[in-house]
Amino acid sequence: MKPERCFRFPFSIFHFQLYTMHSFSALSAIFETGFNTRHFPGHTATLYDPAQYILQLGGKRVRPVAVLMGNELFDEIHPDAYHVATAIELFHNFTLIHDDIMDKAPVRRGLPTVHTKFGNSTALLAGDVMFVKCYEYLNKLKVTSFHKILQLFNTTAAQVCEGQQLDMDFEKTDTVSFDEYVNMITLKTSVLLAASLQLGAILGGTGEGNQQHIYEFGKNLGIAFQVQDDYLDAFGDPATFGKQVGGDIIANKKTFLMIHALEVADATSKEALQQLMIENPADKVEKVLQVFRDCNVNGWANELKEKYLQTALQHLEDIAVVSKRKEPLKELALYLIQRNR
Amino acid sequence: MKPERCFRFPFSIFHFQLYTMHSFSALSAIFETGFNTRHFPGHTATLYDPAQYILQLGGKRVRPVAVLMGNELFDEIHPDAYHVATAIELFHNFTLIHDDIMDKAPVRRGLPTVHTKFGNSTALLAGDVMFVKCYEYLNKLKVTSFHKILQLFNTTAAQVCEGQQLDMDFEKTDTVSFDEYVNMITLKTSVLLAASLQLGAILGGTGEGNQQHIYEFGKNLGIAFQVQDDYLDAFGDPATFGKQVGGDIIANKKTFLMIHALEVADATSKEALQQLMIENPADKVEKVLQVFRDCNVNGWANELKEKYLQTALQHLEDIAVVSKRKEPLKELALYLIQRNR
Q: Are residues A152 and A224 in the same domain?
A: no
Q: Work out the widest C-alpha separation in chain A, in whole angstroms.
A: 71
pTM: 0.93
* pLDDT score for A7: 43
Residue B162 lies inside a defined structural domain of this protein: no
Q: Are residues B149 and B211 in the same domain?
A: no
Q: Provide the 8-state DSSP code for A186.
A: I
| Interface contact B47, partner A, CB < 8 A | yes
Separation between Cα atoms, residue A229 and residue A222, nearest integer Å: 10
User: How crowded is residue A109: how many other Cβ atoms within 10 Å of its Cβ?
Assistant: 12
Question: What residue in B sits closest to A160 (Cα-Cα)?
Answer: B129
Residues in chain B: 341
Residue B84 lies inside a defined structural domain of this protein: yes
Domain that holds residue A123: 22-31+44-157
Q: Are residues B241 and B147 in the same domain?
A: no
Domain finish residue from B140, B155, B170: B155
> With an 8 Å Cβ cutoff, are A132 and B101 in contact?
no
Per residue in B55-100, pLDDT (tens digit) is 999 889 999 999 999 999 999 999 999 999 999 999 999 999 999 9
A125: nearest CB among B147, B151, B165: B165
| Interface contact B101, partner A, CB < 8 A | yes
Q: Provide the 8-state DSSP code for A324.
A: G
- Total domains in chain A come to 2
ipTM of the complex, rounded to two decimals: 0.92
Per residue in A60-111, pLDDT (tens digit) is 999 999 999 999 999 999 999 999 999 999 999 999 999 999 999 999 988 9
Report the CATH number at residue A102. 1.10.600.10
- Kindly list the distances between the CA atom of residue B184 and the CA atoms of B163, B166, B190, B212, in Å, as whole numbers in the listed order: 5, 6, 9, 20
Residue A50: closest CA among A103, A107, A116: A116
Residue A172 lies inside a defined structural domain of this protein: no
Residue A304 lies inside a defined structural domain of this protein: yes
| Interface contact B105, partner A, CB < 8 A | no
Average confidence (pLDDT) per 10 residues, chain A, 341 residues: 43 56 95 96 96 93 98 97 98 98 93 97 98 98 96 98 97 93 97 98 98 98 96 88 84 94 94 94 95 95 97 98 96 82 40
Residue B133 lies inside a defined structural domain of this protein: yes
Distance from CA of A179 to the nearest CA of B (A): 15
Q: Are residues A134 and A243 in the same domain?
A: no
* pLDDT score for A174: 85
Domain finish residue from B111, B131, B155: B155
Residue A4 lies inside a defined structural domain of this protein: no
Residue A77 lies inside a defined structural domain of this protein: yes
